[in-house]
Amino acid sequence: MNFGHTTYYLVTGASRGIGLALVTKLLESRPDAFVFATTRVNSADLNKLHESFPTALRILTLNVEDESQYASLTDEIKGLTDRLDYVIANAGLMVGLQDCLTIPPSQLLDAIKVNTCGPLYLYQATHALLTSSTRGGRARPPVFLITSSGAGCISASPGIPVGAYGTSKAAVNMLAREMHLQNEETGLVVSPYHPGWLQTDMGNRAAEAAHLSEAPHTLKEGVEAMIDLLDKANREEHGGKFLAYGIPGGALPW
């Protein structure tokens, strides 16, 4: 099955938070959308969503830190389509908020496995499917968007200890910049994206550490902004930049 009018999305970490809200919004607002949504474990919320959109949603199992699982992921996708239009590397791990004197090295490695290596594995696995969407007169360029974080901004401290988490996000930002530079010929748009300080489990944990009652932006606001970005993304304006929601100018310094 590969209908010419269909827009194919792949969203990792789709069982909750930003990922679940993004998949839901795409299915509810885009009649041409077909969404591959990954989850590490069985998700009641995704299963319920599938009941409402049985022909537009395919749920796939993926532990993003396990490199060996990506071949079967792409095999399942290729069973339905020979291209992807948008890949959103959204799965993430928020480790403990500790200062550098007390961060266990194992915690740093855990964050890097999920937040840095996970998007790299996904990029390597889906690159051919994404770049094939530049052929056949596609109206929009393909996009590989990495859900990053302002915690990965080296030049601006978030005001709370994010040594392990922030390091993993700064590292994936560097990879995103390299991916952008290496795709001039394919036309693939690659960017890390700070989706805003959103009212998710992770966002509110960080807000609590900053002595706030909750994160400043709603999940609905953040997801709508992310979809708007996907719709208009191009290499000239967005590729290789540390894009951000809720930040003046729409981008963060590295």
Q: Which helix (H) or strand (E) holds 191?
A: strand 189-194
Mean pLDDT on 234-240: 97
* Residue 1 belongs to a domain: no
pLDDT tens digits, 46-96: 999 999 999 999 999 999 999 999 999 999 999 999 999 999 999 999 887
Asked if residue 81 belongs to a domain, the reply is yes
Q: Residue 1: pLDDT above 90?
A: no
Cα–Cα distance for residue pair 6/29, rounded to 1 Å? 14
- Which has the higher per-residue pLDDT, 226 or 157? 226
Given strand 189-194, what is the order of strands in its sheet? Answer: 57-61, 33-39, 7-11, 86-89, 143-147, 189-194, 243-244
Q: How confident is the model at residue 212 (pLDDT cuts 50, 70, 90)?
A: confident
CATH number at residue 103: 3.40.50.720
The answer to whether position 2 is within a domain reads no
- Residues 197 and 233 sit within 8 Å (Cβ to Cβ): no
Residue 254 lies in a domain: no
Q: What is the pLDDT of residue 203?
A: 66
Residue 156 is predicted with a pLDDT of 81
Q: Which residues are catalytic?
A: 165, 169
pLDDT over threshold 90, residue 15? yes
Token look-up 């770049």 returns 131
Better-scored residue on pLDDT, 117 or 132? 117
Residue 137: the pLDDT is: 56
Gap between the Cα atoms of 210 and 191, Å rounded: 27
| Residue 182 covered by a domain | yes
Q: Does the pLDDT at position 214 exceed 90? A: no
Query: Average pLDDT over the chain, rounded to whole?
Result: 91
Instruction: Please state whether the predicted TM-score (pTM) of the whole model is above 0.85.
Output: yes
Token pair recorded at residue 226:
């992310």
Rg, C-alpha atoms of the chain: 17
Residues 38, 244, 168, 161: is their CA dihedral positive or negative? negative
Q: Tell me the pLDDT band of 41, cut-offs 50, 70 and 90.
A: very high
With respect to residue 167, please indicate whether it lies within any of the assigned structural domains. yes
* Domain that residue 101 falls in: 7-246
Q: Is the pLDDT assigned to residue 10 strictly greater than 80?
A: yes
pLDDT in tens, 238-253: 999 999 998 888 999 9
More confident residue, 208 or 150: 150
Count of domains for the chain: 1
- With respect to residue 44, please indicate whether it lies within any of the assigned structural domains: yes
* pLDDT at residue 165 in the model: 93
